[in-house]
Chains A and B, each alone.
Chain A
Amino acid sequence: MNATQTLIALWTLVLKEIKRFTRIWPQTLLPPSITMAMYFIIFGNLIGSRIGDMDGFSYMDFIVPGLIMMSVITNSYSNVASSFFSNKFQRSIEEMMVSPMPNWVILSGFVLGGMARGLGVGLIVTVVSLFFTRLTMEHPLLTVLVVVLTSALFSIGGFINALLANKFDDISIVPTFILTPLTYLGGVFYSISMLPEFWQGVSMLNPILYMVNVFRYGFLGVSDIPVGWALAAIFAFIVALFMVALTMLERGKGIRS
């Protein structure tokens, strides 16, 4: 394929993915906005007013970046995991496999589709948060960069999960038992400076902590961890997981007999 044909193929796949999640918006776009509105009301307004300040900010202001990031992570991951697995399950993945589309285009198409949903939901949650607080952004470029990179990373994660999955249950195991606990323990609702030293050390092993903190730094200008180091780690993870996913795709893992 020449460069133009490759771009057409990629755009076709991305558009198809965007059409898919917008077609089923009551399942994909509406629930996160309702759930996050509940978080803002209960944790931000009702309980948050009794908690007081966190790192010098109101509790509502403190949790907003973390909740936006939580939505981006779960939606990016689950979009690719469920979409690619559905394609496997319905065998419509064969449409792509018999075409001359290179594997990196197939992978990138699904990842960009996952990012479109993750970032779309992130934007919706941001808009919802404006009903509860006045958002300020200390470092807009950094904020955008980190949310885009995080979305890409978890979209690739969802792709690998779908490649390895043999049944629908297999695509809910990682989000339920790994992603959700790591997100909740990743400093969305609290600053790790509140934890005893030992648990602060343990928290530093949680990759989501870095993403939430850099994202919060973009909004509020405060972070528990060094921003540059965190960005480098996210980028390295993206490159490594992309290569893993691509190698699995080249070998036909889970899709070719």
Chain B
Amino acid sequence: MAEPALSIRGLTKVYGNGFHALKGIDLDVQQGDFFALLGPNGAGKSTTLGVVCSLVQKSTGKVSIFGIDVDKDFAKAKYQLGVVPQEFNFNQFEKVLDIVLAQAGYYGMTRKEALPRAKQLLSDLGLWDKRNGSARMLSGGMKRRLMIARALMHRPKLLILDEPTAGVDIELRRSMWEYMRRINRDEGTTIILTTHYLEEAESLCRNIAIINHGEIVRNTSVRELLAELDTETFLLDLAAPVDQAPRIEGFEILQVEPSQLALVIHKGQELNDVFSALSEQGLKVVSMRNRANRLEEMFVSMVEGNQQAIDQREPQEARA
């Protein structure tokens, strides 16, 4: 079996103030995967990725990129790696073209090699017309795309995207998704993504790890995770307002607004039964949607479950 694109074993990080950001992470991301690393703010996502791309010094543990131990040959490992960080980290006063060409130069690419690559990437990402402008003149979405172009200049086999679509409008977000899918599918680039948009993870990723309080809570495929989803909540818009939520045996229905109901469906239950019962009571449903993204429901329940476990564990530890 091919070496994983990324392999992490026993990774810990204790900051100078004593904060344990990572408490022994084990993680494998296979070659060609589109992988999501999810977790609430401060869970340890960015610290984990920071260690992988050498921006954060690990305390203990082992990190390998395509089988290359970063402790032994980080330079070789870095050739395989492209990084799109969460925050803009380019010189805002430089020209767009200069930023991507300089990055290629840092990887030892000649200008002759780099210029066609820059043209291709900036054109693909809709930035070629802006190449001679200062980076500070770009919109937020353009700046994010500039960081993607910069990260891809040296043709990395593993691309790390730390919240790449934060603050990007829906239309642009979808075009960026399409671009990421394309480089994953056509060029075989392994992609690791962190995001707060769980719809993004569900739409793009095949595998997923959820990190909370510096520990991996789950590491599985998106399909398996969703299959475990026990309940799903739908919002039903009614043709006419009702005084109170209708009662249907076996189903949980709540009134959100006079003409909107929230329907909680458990595994094994069928929507047809609800619609039949609602019709019998003279209620017409004009539209229906998920209250939250399915993965979001799963994520919230897992993180909350993990928090409860920690809350229960901590008083015992405090007593010990």
Contact = CB atoms under 8 A, between A and B. Distances in A.
Interface of A: 1-2, 4-6, 8-9, 11-13, 16, 19, 23, 86-87, 90-92, 94-102, 252, 256-257
Given A9-B105, A95-B103, A98-B55, A19 B75 contact: no
B109 to A, nearest CB: 7
B56 interface: yes
A8 B150 contact: no
A94 B89 contact: yes
Contacts of A256: 54-57
A257 B107 contact: no
Nearest to B77: A100
B203 interface: no
B191 to A, nearest CB: 16
Given A13-B102, A87-B91, A94-B55, 15 more contacts: A2-B108, A8-B109, A9-B105, A16-B94, A90-B89, A91-B87, A94-B89, A95-B102, A96-B106, A98-B55, A100-B74, A100-B76, A100-B79, A256-B56, A257-B50
Contacts of B102: 12-13, 16, 95
Size bin of chain B's contact surface: 20 to 34
A141 B215 CA distance: 63
A102 B103 CA distance: 14
B225 interface: no
Interface of B: 15, 50, 53-57, 74-76, 78-79, 81, 83, 85, 87-94, 98, 101-103, 105-110, 150
Contact of A9 (B56, B57, B107): B107
Contacts of B103: 95, 99
- Judged by DSSP, the binding face of B is loop
Nearest to A23: B93
Nearest to B15: A257
A49 B46 CA distance: 66
B275 to A, nearest CB: 54
A82 to B, nearest CB: 13
B105 A98 contact: no
A180 to B, nearest CB: 28
Contacts of B98: 16, 19
A229 B28 CA distance: 59
A92 B107 contact: no
B81 A98 contact: yes
